[in-house]
């Protein structure tokens, strides 16, 4: 059964390592050096690289990893130069007898992808900069409603689904979440018991602490209206207001 562990990189990135006995995948290699170190320590051969989106802190290590592992196959969207196998919505491919399903989770960037790996009936989602624990990515597309739709889609998955975001932003996200919902006991408990790494997280937990997945709650709706100073007609409008609030905070 594959194991999934974080390789810390840069200041707050996680490069997720998926490893079987002798072979490995890395997701969003921000930097080659820490990946090479871990692969050597664990005596693993790098077979695949999965890229969620084109930002430098997700792709900067690809070229050097390709030099060390000339047969590595890089998966990602069409707008990334070093990708070998171009993927989009509904794409799928195989690693070590596992089928990986690809969702286009647009919003942070237009071509952002997420990778869904089923291990023994539990879904593991590499979601890049779409969902963070207690937060979500910035909408660089200027279309926060796209990001809302991507998060809503995640919210349809089973509650034991594990999410593997690319950044350790949980602490600052929790402080924002507390501003939105000062009375939410799950958020306070998460602050009190925070440990690093705080990831992966589960959908169940995010439904309890993540304001961006709680747009259907009265408390969140009211806080977003107080921030925006206007009536918010639906969950999407609440989400857009929350994203704006977080951008300013």
Residues that bind Zn ion (CB under 5 A): 55, 129
Tell me how far apart the alpha carbons of residues 150 and 39 are, in angstroms, rounded to a whole number.
32
CB of residue 107 vs Zn ion: minimum separation in angstroms? 11
DSSP strand E in the chain: where? 3-9, 13-19, 23-27, 45-50, 73-76, 85-86, 92-95, 98-104, 113-119, 122-128, 131-132, 135-136, 162-165, 201-202
Tell me how far apart the alpha carbons of residues 46 and 35 are, in angstroms, rounded to a whole number.
10
Q: Which is nearer to Zn ion, 55 or 221 (CB)?
A: 55
CB of residue 14 vs Zn ion: minimum separation in angstroms? 13
Q: Which is nearer to Zn ion, 56 or 97 (CB)?
A: 56
CB of residue 141 vs Zn ion: minimum separation in angstroms? 11
Tell me how far apart the alpha carbons of residues 4 and 47 are, in angstroms, rounded to a whole number.
15
Locate 204 and state its tokens. 């169940």
Across the strands, what pairs with 118? 123
Q: Which is nearer to Zn ion, 104 or 214 (CB)?
A: 104
Tell me how far apart the alpha carbons of residues 196 and 84 are, in angstroms, rounded to a whole number.
34
CB of residue 79 vs Zn ion: minimum separation in angstroms? 13
Q: Which is nearer to Zn ion, 95 or 146 (CB)?
A: 146
Q: Which is nearer to Zn ion, 55 or 104 (CB)?
A: 55
CB of residue 111 vs Zn ion: minimum separation in angstroms? 11
CB of residue 6 vs Zn ion: minimum separation in angstroms? 17
Residue whose CB is nearest to Zn ion in the complex, by number: 55
User: Are the beta carbons of 151 and 130 closer than 8 angstroms?
Assistant: yes
Across the strands, what pairs with 116? 101, 125
Alpha-carbon torsion angle 199, 243, 177, 232, nearest 10: -140
Q: Which is nearer to Zn ion, 55 or 246 (CB)?
A: 55
Tell me how far apart the alpha carbons of residues 131 and 6 are, in angstroms, rounded to a whole number.
16
């Amino acid at each position: 059964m594959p194991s999934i562990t974080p390789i810390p990189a840069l200041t707050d990135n996680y490069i997720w390592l998926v490893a079987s006995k002798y072979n490995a995948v890395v997701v969003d290699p921000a930097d080659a050096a820490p990946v090479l170190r871990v692969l050597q320590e664990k005596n693993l051969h790098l077979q695949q690289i999965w890229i969620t989106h084109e930002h430098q802190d997700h792709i900067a290590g690809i070229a050097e990893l390709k030099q060390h592992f000339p047969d590595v196959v890089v998966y990602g969207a069409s707008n990334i130069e070093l990708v070998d196998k171009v993927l989009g919505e509904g794409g799928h491919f195989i690693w070590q007898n596992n089928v990986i399903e690809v969702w286009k989770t647009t919003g942070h960037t237009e071509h952002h992808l997420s990778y869904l790996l089923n291990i023994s009936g539990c879904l593991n989602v590499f979601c890049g900069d779409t969902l963070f624990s207690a937060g979500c990515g910035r909408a660089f597309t200027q279309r926060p409603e796209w990001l809302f739709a991507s998060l809503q889609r995640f919210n349809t998955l089973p509650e034991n689904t594990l999410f593997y975001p690319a950044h350790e932003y949980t602490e600052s996200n929790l402080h924002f979440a507390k501003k939105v919902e000062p009375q939410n006991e799950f958020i306070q408990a998460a602050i009190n018991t925070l440990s690093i790494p705080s990831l992966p997280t589960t959908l169940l937990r995010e439904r309890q602490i993540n304001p961006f997945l709680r747009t259907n709650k009265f408390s969140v709706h009211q806080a977003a209206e107080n921030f925006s100073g206007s009536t918010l007609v639906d969950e999407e409008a609440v989400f857009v207001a929350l994203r704006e609030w977080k951008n300013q905070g």
